[in-house]
Amino acid sequence: MEPEISVVVPTYNVEKYISQTLQSVKDQTINPSRYEVIIFDDGSTDNTNSIVQTTVKGVRNIKHYKRIENKGSAITRNDAIDQAQGKLISLLDADDLLEPQAIESTLKFMNKNPGVKYSYSKHRRVYEKSGFIEDRPCQEYSFEDLFHYNFVGPIKCFTRELHEEIGGFDPELLDGEDWNHALQAALILKDGQFKQNPEFLYNYKIRANSITTSKGSERKKIIEKFLTERLAEKGIFGEVYRSHKTDEGYNYYDWRIKNEGAK
C-alpha cells in the first residue's frame, strides 16, 4: 500500500540535530503505514549520514538518499520529492521538530477539506541559545498579504500535482525558496484551495547562524521578480519602495501599483 503522505527532510551537516528531528518523526501518533519519510542528504561532510543510518535502521517507512556534491536546499527538496510516493507532500527541516500529532492532524485536515491543495499550520519558535519558546500563530491565508511577506509557516503540505504544475522549488534561489514556492502556488490556486490548519504542529528552531536570522536581500529579489513578471501577467504592475521588519520579525515588503493594466 502506498503512503498517503510523504515527509521530505533535506539534510546538510546537521549531525547535532538530526537524531532528535528523526525521533520526532518516529514518535508520530499515526500508523507508520500511512506515511513515509524521505531523507535526502546534500553532500554532508560531517557525521550526518552515519547518524541517520543508525537512527533509521529497521524503520521501514523511512528512506535515506545521499549524494556527494552539495547543490542547495531547493534542488535537494525537488530530488527528494521525485523519490516520494505520496500524493501529498510535507516539509520538515533537519533541525526542527514535529509535534507527535503533526502528520495525523495534517492528513485529517487535508481529507476533511478535499478542495485544499496547499495548507500550513501554526508553529512555535524555539530559540536554541536561550531555550525560549514562542508561539507563532501566523495568520489565515490572504493572497494579497502573501505578496508582502511570508506568513506561510510549517508544517506545509501540498499536493504532488500542484508541486509539479508550478515547476517545483526554484533551483536558482539560495534563500526564500519556500516563499517563492507558496507564491507560485497562490497564482494558480482558486479561493479556498490555500488554507491554514489552526493547530500548533511544528517546532521551528532558531539558530544564531541559521538562514532565518540572515538578511532578506534574496527575498526582496523574489517579490521584485513577481511584480515585474508573474503579477504583470494578471495586469498588476508594481514596485517595491520600502522593506522593514514587522513586530513579529518577518521581512515585510511594501510595494505599490504603477500603471495598472498597462502593457
* Helix/strand/coil for 191: coil
Tell me: do 11 and 97 sit in the same domain.
Answer: yes
Containing structural domain, residue 16 = 5-211
Q: Which three cell numbers stand for residue 65?
A: 538518499
Q: What angle do CA 190, 195, 196 make, to 5 degrees?
A: 165
The answer to whether the CB of 256 falls within 8 A of the CB of 246 is: no
* Helix/strand/coil for 202: strand
Domain harbouring 202, CATH code: 3.90.550.10
d(CA 116, CA 158): 8
Tell me: do 51 and 164 sit in the same domain.
Answer: yes
Q: Which helix (H) or strand (E) holds 14?
A: none
Instruction: Count Cβ atoms within 10 A of the Cβ of residue 80 and give its class: 0-12 exposed, 13-18 middle, 19 or more buried.
Output: buried
> What rounded mean pLDDT belongs to the chain?
90
Q: Rounded mean pLDDT of 123-138? A: 79
Q: Does the reported pTM lie above 0.85?
A: yes
Q: Rounded mean pLDDT of 26-55? A: 97
d(CA 107, CA 103): 6
pLDDT (0 to 100) of residue 141? 96
pLDDT (0 to 100) of residue 211? 47
- CA diameter of the chain: 60
Q: Rounded mean pLDDT of 246-252? A: 80
d(CA 110, CA 116): 7
Over residues 68-113, the pLDDT tens digits come to 999 999 999 999 999 999 999 999 999 999 999 999 999 999 999 9
pLDDT (0 to 100) of residue 90? 98
Q: How many domains does the chain have?
A: 2
Q: What is the DSSP string of 136-153?
A: E------HHHHTT-----
pLDDT (0 to 100) of residue 180? 94
Tell me: do 182 and 262 sit in the same domain.
Answer: no
d(CA 94, CA 11): 6
Residues of the chain above pLDDT 70, percent: 93
- 225 vs 166 pLDDT, higher one: 166
pLDDT (0 to 100) of residue 259? 57
Tell me: do 73 and 191 sit in the same domain.
Answer: yes
